[in-house]
Amino acid sequence: MKACRMPIGFAVVILVFTTVVKAESESDVRFCDPHHLFHVVIPSGWIFQAGESSSHLLVFYGPEHDQLIYIEYFPEIAFSDPMDFAANVLEHYSADYGLPKFELVRELEPIDLGGVKAALAEYDYLGRIERTECRVFVIIDQIGLTITLSEAKPHYAVSKAQFDLILADWGWEVSP
Protein backbone atom coordinates (compact mmCIF):
# COMPACT_ATOMS: atom_id res chain seq x y z
CA MET A 1 0.00 0.00 0.00
CA LYS A 2 1.31 3.45 -0.93
CA ALA A 3 2.02 5.90 1.87
CA CYS A 4 -0.28 8.93 1.90
CA ARG A 5 1.11 12.50 1.78
CA MET A 6 -0.67 15.73 2.66
CA PRO A 7 -1.23 18.48 0.07
CA ILE A 8 -1.18 21.99 1.58
CA GLY A 9 -4.84 22.63 0.68
CA PHE A 10 -5.96 19.91 3.07
CA ALA A 11 -4.16 21.14 6.19
CA VAL A 12 -7.51 21.96 7.78
CA VAL A 13 -8.63 18.38 7.29
CA ILE A 14 -5.56 17.17 9.15
CA LEU A 15 -6.22 19.56 12.00
CA VAL A 16 -9.86 18.52 12.31
CA PHE A 17 -9.32 14.78 11.79
CA THR A 18 -6.06 12.93 11.76
CA THR A 19 -6.76 12.32 8.08
CA VAL A 20 -4.05 11.95 5.48
CA VAL A 21 -4.48 12.59 1.77
CA LYS A 22 -2.25 12.19 -1.26
CA ALA A 23 -2.44 13.35 -4.84
CA GLU A 24 -3.24 10.43 -7.19
CA SER A 25 -2.85 12.65 -10.23
CA GLU A 26 -2.65 16.39 -10.57
CA SER A 27 -6.33 16.74 -9.78
CA ASP A 28 -7.54 13.67 -7.89
CA VAL A 29 -6.92 13.21 -4.17
CA ARG A 30 -6.53 10.01 -2.18
CA PHE A 31 -8.52 10.42 1.04
CA CYS A 32 -7.70 8.20 4.04
CA ASP A 33 -10.48 8.29 6.58
CA PRO A 34 -9.86 9.49 10.16
CA HIS A 35 -10.67 6.06 11.65
CA HIS A 36 -8.14 4.33 9.38
CA LEU A 37 -10.78 2.02 7.92
CA PHE A 38 -10.64 2.94 4.23
CA HIS A 39 -9.08 5.05 1.53
CA VAL A 40 -10.70 6.34 -1.63
CA VAL A 41 -9.78 8.54 -4.57
CA ILE A 42 -11.85 11.72 -4.61
CA PRO A 43 -12.13 13.14 -8.14
CA SER A 44 -11.09 16.64 -9.10
CA GLY A 45 -13.63 19.27 -8.16
CA TRP A 46 -15.07 17.41 -5.18
CA ILE A 47 -14.48 19.25 -1.92
CA PHE A 48 -14.27 17.78 1.57
CA GLN A 49 -16.56 19.79 3.85
CA ALA A 50 -14.78 19.89 7.23
CA GLY A 51 -17.42 22.19 8.73
CA GLU A 52 -20.24 19.79 7.82
CA SER A 53 -18.30 16.70 8.89
CA SER A 54 -17.76 15.13 12.31
CA SER A 55 -16.23 12.01 13.83
CA HIS A 56 -19.29 10.04 12.60
CA LEU A 57 -19.92 11.80 9.27
CA LEU A 58 -17.76 12.76 6.28
CA VAL A 59 -19.26 15.11 3.69
CA PHE A 60 -18.02 15.87 0.16
CA TYR A 61 -19.67 18.34 -2.24
CA GLY A 62 -19.38 17.74 -5.96
CA PRO A 63 -18.61 20.35 -8.60
CA GLU A 64 -21.92 20.09 -10.47
CA HIS A 65 -25.64 20.39 -9.79
CA ASP A 66 -26.48 19.26 -6.27
CA GLN A 67 -23.92 16.45 -5.85
CA LEU A 68 -23.20 15.16 -2.38
CA ILE A 69 -21.34 12.13 -1.07
CA TYR A 70 -21.57 11.41 2.61
CA ILE A 71 -20.14 8.59 4.67
CA GLU A 72 -21.68 7.76 8.02
CA TYR A 73 -20.09 5.65 10.76
CA PHE A 74 -22.21 3.52 13.10
CA PRO A 75 -19.91 2.23 15.88
CA GLU A 76 -20.63 -1.13 17.47
CA ILE A 77 -23.49 -1.94 15.14
CA ALA A 78 -25.89 -4.70 16.20
CA PHE A 79 -25.90 -6.29 12.74
CA SER A 80 -23.34 -8.70 11.32
CA ASP A 81 -24.72 -8.84 7.77
CA PRO A 82 -24.84 -5.69 5.61
CA MET A 83 -28.09 -6.86 3.95
CA ASP A 84 -29.79 -6.93 7.38
CA PHE A 85 -28.29 -3.53 8.23
CA ALA A 86 -29.57 -2.08 4.93
CA ALA A 87 -33.04 -3.65 5.24
CA ASN A 88 -33.41 -2.13 8.70
CA VAL A 89 -32.45 1.36 7.52
CA LEU A 90 -34.68 1.16 4.45
CA GLU A 91 -37.59 0.05 6.63
CA HIS A 92 -37.20 3.26 8.65
CA TYR A 93 -36.90 5.40 5.52
CA SER A 94 -40.15 3.95 4.13
CA ALA A 95 -42.11 4.32 7.41
CA ASP A 96 -44.64 7.10 7.96
CA TYR A 97 -42.02 8.98 10.01
CA GLY A 98 -39.29 8.31 7.40
CA LEU A 99 -38.28 10.14 4.24
CA PRO A 100 -41.12 11.99 2.49
CA LYS A 101 -42.26 10.24 -0.73
CA PHE A 102 -39.65 7.49 -0.27
CA GLU A 103 -39.58 5.04 -3.17
CA LEU A 104 -37.11 2.23 -3.73
CA VAL A 105 -35.95 2.43 -7.37
CA ARG A 106 -33.38 -0.37 -7.24
CA GLU A 107 -33.96 -3.35 -5.01
CA LEU A 108 -31.51 -4.05 -2.24
CA GLU A 109 -28.73 -6.27 -3.56
CA PRO A 110 -25.49 -7.74 -2.27
CA ILE A 111 -22.27 -6.34 -3.77
CA ASP A 112 -18.54 -6.59 -3.21
CA LEU A 113 -16.82 -3.37 -2.14
CA GLY A 114 -13.06 -3.71 -2.28
CA GLY A 115 -13.22 -7.36 -1.24
CA VAL A 116 -15.78 -6.82 1.53
CA LYS A 117 -19.39 -8.02 1.49
CA ALA A 118 -21.75 -5.01 1.18
CA ALA A 119 -25.32 -4.13 0.20
CA LEU A 120 -26.55 -1.49 -2.23
CA ALA A 121 -29.91 0.22 -2.72
CA GLU A 122 -31.15 3.19 -4.75
CA TYR A 123 -34.16 5.26 -3.77
CA ASP A 124 -35.94 8.54 -4.41
CA TYR A 125 -37.37 10.88 -1.80
CA LEU A 126 -38.50 14.47 -1.48
CA GLY A 127 -36.21 16.76 0.48
CA ARG A 128 -36.07 20.45 -0.36
CA ILE A 129 -35.93 19.06 -3.94
CA GLU A 130 -36.55 15.61 -5.44
CA ARG A 131 -33.43 13.53 -4.81
CA THR A 132 -32.13 10.12 -5.75
CA GLU A 133 -29.63 8.35 -3.53
CA CYS A 134 -27.43 5.32 -4.01
CA ARG A 135 -26.43 3.95 -0.62
CA VAL A 136 -23.88 1.25 0.09
CA PHE A 137 -24.01 -0.51 3.46
CA VAL A 138 -20.96 -2.29 4.85
CA ILE A 139 -19.81 -3.63 8.21
CA ILE A 140 -16.08 -3.63 8.91
CA ASP A 141 -14.48 -4.28 12.31
CA GLN A 142 -17.95 -4.12 13.96
CA ILE A 143 -18.49 -0.63 12.56
CA GLY A 144 -21.34 -0.01 10.16
CA LEU A 145 -20.63 2.35 7.29
CA THR A 146 -22.99 3.84 4.77
CA ILE A 147 -21.50 5.44 1.69
CA THR A 148 -24.09 7.56 -0.07
CA LEU A 149 -24.32 9.51 -3.30
CA SER A 150 -27.16 12.01 -3.14
CA GLU A 151 -28.13 14.07 -6.19
CA ALA A 152 -31.02 16.06 -7.63
CA LYS A 153 -33.14 13.51 -9.45
CA PRO A 154 -32.71 14.97 -12.98
CA HIS A 155 -28.88 14.81 -12.72
CA TYR A 156 -28.55 11.52 -10.89
CA ALA A 157 -27.47 9.29 -13.82
CA VAL A 158 -24.38 11.38 -14.59
CA SER A 159 -23.36 11.57 -10.92
CA LYS A 160 -23.99 7.84 -10.44
CA ALA A 161 -21.47 7.01 -13.17
CA GLN A 162 -18.85 9.06 -11.28
CA PHE A 163 -19.85 7.40 -7.97
CA ASP A 164 -19.37 3.98 -9.55
CA LEU A 165 -15.79 4.97 -10.43
CA ILE A 166 -15.19 6.12 -6.85
CA LEU A 167 -16.50 2.80 -5.48
CA ALA A 168 -14.41 0.82 -7.98
CA ASP A 169 -11.24 2.31 -6.45
CA TRP A 170 -12.36 1.82 -2.83
CA GLY A 171 -9.71 0.31 -0.58
CA TRP A 172 -9.66 -0.87 3.00
CA GLU A 173 -6.97 0.11 5.51
CA VAL A 174 -7.93 -2.87 7.69
CA SER A 175 -7.94 -6.52 6.69
CA PRO A 176 -11.28 -7.41 5.08
Tell me, what's the pLDDT at 9?
34
How does pLDDT run across 30-44, given as a tens digit for each residue? 899 999 999 999 998
Read off the pLDDT of each residue in 132-161 and give the average, rounded to a whole number. 96
Q: Do the Cβ atoms of 32 and 17 come closer than 8 Å?
A: no
In the chain, the DSSP E strands lie at: 20-23, 29-32, 38-42, 47-48, 57-61, 68-75, 103-113, 116-126, 130-140, 143-152, 171-172
DSSP state of 10: G
Examine the pLDDT at 164 and tell me if it is beyond 70: yes
From the list 125, 77, 72, the residue with the least C-alpha distance to 98 is 125
Q: Do the Cβ atoms of 49 and 59 come closer than 8 Å?
A: yes
Phi-psi category of 27—alpha, beta or left, where left has phi over 0 and alpha has psi -120 to 50?
alpha
**CATH 3.40.1000.10 fits domain 8-172:** yes
Of 14-28, 51-65, 150-164, least confident by mean pLDDT is 14-28
Residue 6 and residue 136: Cα distance in Å, rounded?
A: 27
How does pLDDT run across 92-142, given as a tens digit for each residue? 999 999 999 999 999 999 999 999 999 999 999 999 999 999 999 999 988
pLDDT band, residue 18 (cuts 50/70/90): very low
The DSSP-derived string for 78-116 is S-SSHHHHHHHHHHHHHSTTSSTT-EEEEEEEEEEETTE
Examine the pLDDT at 28 and tell me if it is beyond 90: no
Q: Do the Cβ atoms of 52 and 150 come closer than 8 Å?
A: no
How does pLDDT run across 51-97, given as a tens digit for each residue? 999 999 999 999 988 999 999 999 989 999 999 999 999 999 999 99
The structure's pTM equals 0.83
DSSP bridge pairs for 112: 117
Domain map (residue ranges) of the chain: 8-172
